[in-house]
């Protein structure tokens, strides 16, 4: 089937294919830098707080130049607008230099800004409140130890300022997302205390007004070693954001109970918040951060973003890290899957009037018919217009042979 024939079929559903292609191309996806090096970073930290990249595939990026090169290689096979999502642990330091996280500055990220200017991509940012010796008893911002809490408050304050300077340098607002691993392995004696300390810490962190930052906080239902209690739960952060003017809840679809439908939350959030930030992943039994695939859960997430009118508010980021497969291929597969899901959602017909009129039989019929529309032909046309190849694996294998396998 040709693209023009597919386009005519969608037209019979009153779907504007050209508009769907245009919106998909113009919607940026924030691609996580940490897929390229297994969340190792450049500041001698390590994954932790329930974060673990499993596998030992050869060729992990070991420094700034290698991570940049791998990221650009992946981007050459990824259509549409792109951003790079940085963690504070990816500060670029001079050889042999070290600096602790409560003292990082914009200058340590200016090489990333130069990279963004050269490539035309945007930047998003995250404090790195894990994988550090000053995570005491699994706690950071909610710690009862004043010295520990103060260290992480200062780290988050520095990160917001860095994000603001990045935004000013690029003339582009930067999403700055705070996630902490804080929680308890077993039954708490005090649930309120950690959350009260977390609230007070956040109040101080967000007290400085910064015009180039979009602030958000990321909830989680539990983590490894934190199975019984998480201070930064969805209820806590949603309540916190509702009480503030310019702090937004970030939805990570791997951070909820497996029986929760994250897509169902989107329309509720969209009614009350100016921005809807996302970390999109593929959970498998738990927050396992598998590479995002074009599956039913991903389709439903993007469908809800689109049909609830939330796309203009959405800040779409990815969050997966797989060390068992080629890391560049993981970036390509995962980001293309997100764009497929977005395009798929934009090509769905508007059937809301059938629901409103109570015609649920015809609604079901057309919902089923829509599943068999010629989406593949439209996706291929999208890749063609974006000058991105459909087939890319052999070239990545060649890059692996020439570049990745020589890394030790």
Phi, psi of 135 (to 5 degrees): -80, 100
Query: Which listed residue (108, 132, 220, 315) is catalytic?
Result: 220
Report the C-alpha gap between 388 and 391 in whole angstroms. 9
Query: Which listed residue (124, 287, 304, 322) is catalytic?
Result: 287
Query: Which listed residue (112, 152, 179, 392) is catalytic?
Result: 179
Query: Which listed residue (165, 289, 304, 322) is catalytic?
Result: 289
What are the distances in angstroms from CA 303 to CA 181, 309, 341?
Answer: 30, 10, 8
Beta strand 247-252 with 314-318 is unpaired
Query: Which listed residue (82, 132, 155, 255) is catalytic?
Result: 255
CB 33 within 8 A of CB 328: no
Report the C-alpha gap between 300 and 345 in whole angstroms. 8
Query: Which listed residue (7, 68, 73, 279) is catalytic?
Result: 279
Query: Which listed residue (38, 70, 182, 252) is catalytic?
Result: 252
Query: Which listed residue (124, 164, 319, 400) is catalytic?
Result: 319
What is the separation of C-alpha 327 from the centre of its chain, rounded to a whole number of angstroms? 16
Give the closest residue to 34 by CA, choosing from 56, 67, 58. 67
Report the C-alpha gap between 363 and 340 in whole angstroms. 24
Does 319 qualify as catalytic in the annotation?
yes
Does 289 qualify as catalytic in the annotation?
yes
Does 279 qualify as catalytic in the annotation?
yes
Quick one: 245 exposed, middle or buried, by C-beta within 10 A (0-12, 13-18, 19+)?
Answer: exposed
Does 220 qualify as catalytic in the annotation?
yes
Quick one: 286 exposed, middle or buried, by C-beta within 10 A (0-12, 13-18, 19+)?
Answer: middle
Does 179 qualify as catalytic in the annotation?
yes
Residues noted as catalytic: 179, 218, 220, 252, 255, 279, 287, 289, 319
């Amino acid at each position: 089937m040709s693209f023009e024939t597919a386009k005519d079929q969608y037209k019979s559903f009153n779907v504007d294919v050209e508009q769907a292609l245009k919106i998909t191309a113009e919607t940026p996806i924030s691609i996580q830098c940490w897929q390229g090096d297994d969340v190792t970073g450049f500041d001698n930290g390590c994954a932790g707080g329930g974060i673990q990249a499993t596998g030992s595939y050869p060729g992990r990026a070991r420094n700034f130049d290698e991570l940049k090169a791998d990221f650009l290689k992946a981007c050459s096979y990824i259509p549409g607008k792109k951003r790079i999502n940085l963690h504070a642990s990816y500060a670029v330091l001079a050889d042999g230099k070290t600096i602790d996280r409560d003292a990082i500055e914009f200058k340590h990220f200016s090489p990333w800004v130069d990279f963004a200017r050269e490539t035309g991509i945007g930047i998003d940012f995250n404090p790195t409140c894990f994988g550090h010796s000053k995570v005491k008893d699994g706690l950071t911002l909610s710690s009862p130890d004043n010295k520990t809490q103060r260290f992480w408050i200062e780290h988050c304050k520095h990160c917001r300022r860095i994000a603001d300077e990045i935004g000013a340098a690029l003339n582009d607002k930067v999403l700055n997302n705070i996630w902490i691993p804080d929680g308890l392995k077993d039954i708490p004696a005090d649930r309120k205390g950690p959350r009260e300390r977390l609230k007070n810490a956040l109040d101080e962190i967000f007290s400085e007004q910064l015009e180039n930052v979009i602030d958000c906080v990321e909830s989680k239902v539990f983590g490894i070693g934190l199975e019984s209690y998480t201070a930064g739960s969805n209820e806590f952060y949603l309540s916190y954001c509702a009480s503030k003017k310019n702090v937004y809840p970030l939805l990570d679809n791997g951070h909820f109970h497996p029986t929760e439908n994250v897509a169902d939350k989107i329309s509720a959030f969209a009614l009350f918040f100016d921005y809807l930030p996302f970390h999109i992943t593929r959970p498998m039994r738990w927050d396992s951060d598998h590479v995002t695939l074009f599956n039913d859960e991903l389709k439903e997430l993007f469908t809800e973003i689109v049909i609830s009118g939330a796309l203009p508010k959405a800040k779409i980021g990815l969050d997966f890290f797989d060390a068992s497969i080629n890391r560049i291929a993981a970036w390509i597969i995962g980001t293309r899957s997100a764009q497929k899901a977005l395009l798929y959602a934009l090509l769905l017909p508007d059937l809301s009037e059938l629901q409103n009129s109570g015609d649920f039989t015809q609604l079901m019929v057309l919902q089923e018919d829509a599943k068999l529309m010629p989406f593949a032909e439209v996706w291929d046309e999208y890749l063609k217009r974006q000058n991105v190849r459909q087939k890319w694996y052999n070239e990545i294998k060649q890059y692996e042979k020439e570049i990745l396998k020589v890394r030790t």
